[in-house]
Amino acid sequence: MTGKDFVLFDVDGTLMDAVANQRRVWHEWAARYGLDGDEVYAVALRTRPVETFAAVAPGADPDECLALLNALEDEDVRTGTYAAFEGAVELLTALPADRWALVTSNYEHRVRGRFERTGLPMPALVIDAASVAEGKPSPVPYLTAAEKLGADPAECLVIEDAPSGVRSGLAAGMTVWTVNTPAAHPDAHRHFPTLAEAAPHVLAALG
């Protein structure tokens, strides 16, 4: 693979192990509306919150839905148990600060809270759910990151764990590597079972 100028990271499942937290929050949210937690969480994995509400609770007030979700997630940031994946701190610290960014479906203040608690450094740029009109798997989040970095999409390496994120990066015309899953996404350019195994290759790709 030719060298890349920028690295764009997903957060949950890629840099930080927060899957159990996300599942618990969505199950608590679903219980408040008398919905099945597993069914709601399955939808939430594929869509942004506003789209999840429309799909699972079309008769509910979306503002109230979001207010409850925000309260549950903010409480989790303060009190939840989660950790950065092995090698994440070292990898992010080794990257030039102006050549990497976060592209997340979460909100920046929660990412900052979790990063502070786990010792992960923050980049100069975070593209979060409030930054874009369309979430993953749309290419918009990754294209927005490239634009703000002044980068050509072809210069960007995306590190992802979720199918929707992989599709987003590929649709943006970027090179996509997957981490932290047993098997590779069929369309990803490269796969590593763990972030720690990917780290030296990420640094080498950035040159």
Q: Looking at 5, 12, 36, 152, which residue is catalytic?
A: 12
CA angle 27, 28, 30 (to 5 degrees): 65
- In the annotation, is 10 catalytic? yes
**Distance in angstroms (rounded) separating the CA atoms of residues 84 and 131:** 24
Phi, psi of 164 (to 5 degrees): -65, -35
- In the annotation, is 12 catalytic? yes
**Distance in angstroms (rounded) separating the CA atoms of residues 166 and 136:** 9
pLDDT tens readout for residues 106-144:
889 999 999 998 999 999 999 998 999 998 899 999 999
Whether the pLDDT of residue 165 is over 60: the answer is yes
pLDDT, mean over the chain: 94
CB–CB of 128/104 below 8 Å? yes
Predicted confidence band of residue 2 (pLDDT cuts 50, 70, 90): low
Q: Give me the pLDDT at residue 106, please.
A: 87
CA distances from 2 to 65, 162, 202, 204, 206 (A): 45, 24, 12, 10, 9
Of 10-14, 26-30, 46-50, 156-160, give the lowest mean pLDDT range.
46-50
Q: Looking at 5, 10, 38, 161, which residue is catalytic?
A: 10
pLDDT tens readout for residues 19-51:
889 899 999 999 999 999 999 999 998 777 888
Predicted confidence band of residue 1 (pLDDT cuts 50, 70, 90): low
Q: What is the pTM of this model?
A: 0.88
Q: Give me the pLDDT at residue 45, please.
A: 80
Whether the pLDDT of residue 196 is over 60: the answer is yes
pLDDT tens readout for residues 45-88:
877 788 899 999 999 999 999 999 999 999 999 998 889 999 99
